[in-house]
């Protein structure tokens, strides 16, 4: 009874504070090796795009994987839409749409089959699935290839399928792990549009990248991460003011040198 009573309160609280993602002192040590993520904290509001910017091996993927409950943190805590990642991993997964640069599509299935599968995993009934899939296929212009096995599709088509899968259950939080890595410009553009649309729809978007221009263009706030540590968090203006540099590239290099 107590638990049932608690849940709405926590949700209301997080709504009042408007933090969809709250990360507090999150750390991860892989067995017998270095500290991959070291005491990282940040918050992301609904309707905000937050970019994790850092070089390869900075701990971006590990941080996002912990938030998506794929990895267990060795220290600290994080809540997504009011649900704590180690206590309520199940609930956390219901809040998120997760997408990585590898896309992770089943090659022998068609986009429609993949979308139906993930719809079922998200507990959507047949009518609801049908409606959402129809909507996404039209929105992303997937009609021509929705029934073709994904291993026969172009990278752009695959990317659209992966975006549709991420958005399918209309999650309040989007976690995108280097979603544009290895994509050509038009294909990366589809991801950027999806991020902007998500923001407009009031979603909380957290994504990682090492592409400066993209971060500068899309993000409301940027967190620069290096060697597992959060170097600085702020809007572009705040970052410029703090470092005295104009371009994000220089800000970034400046922070890494510290």
Chain contacts with another protein (rule: CB under 8 A): 31, 65, 68-72, 90, 93-94, 96, 98-100, 102-109, 113, 117-118, 120-123, 149, 165, 175
CA distance 176 to 179: 6
- State the minimum distance, in angstroms, from the CB of residue 219 to another protein: 22
**Among candidates 67, 25, 103, which has minimal Cα distance to 175?**
67
Output 69 or 226, the one with its CB closest to another protein: 69
- State the minimum distance, in angstroms, from the CB of residue 61 to another protein: 10
Are 11 and 70 in contact, with CB atoms under 8 Å apart?
Answer: no
Output 25 or 104, the one with its CB closest to another protein: 104
Output 99 or 133, the one with its CB closest to another protein: 99
Output 162 or 248, the one with its CB closest to another protein: 162
Query: Strand runs (DSSP E) across the chain, as ranges?
Result: 19-29, 35-45, 49-53, 75-80, 83-84, 96-100, 173-177, 204-209, 221-226, 229-234
- State the minimum distance, in angstroms, from the CB of residue 10 to another protein: 19
Give the strand order in the sheet containing 229-234.
Answer: 96-100, 173-177, 204-209, 49-53, 221-226, 229-234
- State the minimum distance, in angstroms, from the CB of residue 14 to another protein: 19
Find the radius of gyration of the CA atoms of the chain: 19
Output 50 or 83, the one with its CB closest to another protein: 83
- State the minimum distance, in angstroms, from the CB of residue 27 to another protein: 15
């Amino acid at each position: 009874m107590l638990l049932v009573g608690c849940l709405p309160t926590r949700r209301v609280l997080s709504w009042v504070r408007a933090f969809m993602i709250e990360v507090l002192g999150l750390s991860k040590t892989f067995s017998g090796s270095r500290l991959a993520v070291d005491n990282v904290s940040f918050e992301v509001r609904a309707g905000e795009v937050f970019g994790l910017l850092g070089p390869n091996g900075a701990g971006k993927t590990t941080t996002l994987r912990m938030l998506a409950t794929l990895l267990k943190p060795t220290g600290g805590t994080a809540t997504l839409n009011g649900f704590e990642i180690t206590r309520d991993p199940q609930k956390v997964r219901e809040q998120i749409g997760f997408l990585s640069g590898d896309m992770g599509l089943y090659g022998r299935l068609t986009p429609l089959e993949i979308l139906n599968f993930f719809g079922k995993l998200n507990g959507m009934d047949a009518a609801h699935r049908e409606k959402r899939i129809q909507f996404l296929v039209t929105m992303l212009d997937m009609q021509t290839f929705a029934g073709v096995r994904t291993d026969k599709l172009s990278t752009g088509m695959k990317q659209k399928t992966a975006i549709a899968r991420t958005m399918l259950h209309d999650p309040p939080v989007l976690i995108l792990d280097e979603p544009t890595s290895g994509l050509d410009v038009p294909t990366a553009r589809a991801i950027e549009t999806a991020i902007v649309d998500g923001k407009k729809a009031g979603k909380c978007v957290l994504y990682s990248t090492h592409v400066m221009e993209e971060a500068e263009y899309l993000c409301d706030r940027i967190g620069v991460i290096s060697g597992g540590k959060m170097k600085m968090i702020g809007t572009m203006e705040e970052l410029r003011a703090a470092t005295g540099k104009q371009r994000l590239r220089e800000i970034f290099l400046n922070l890494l040198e510290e």
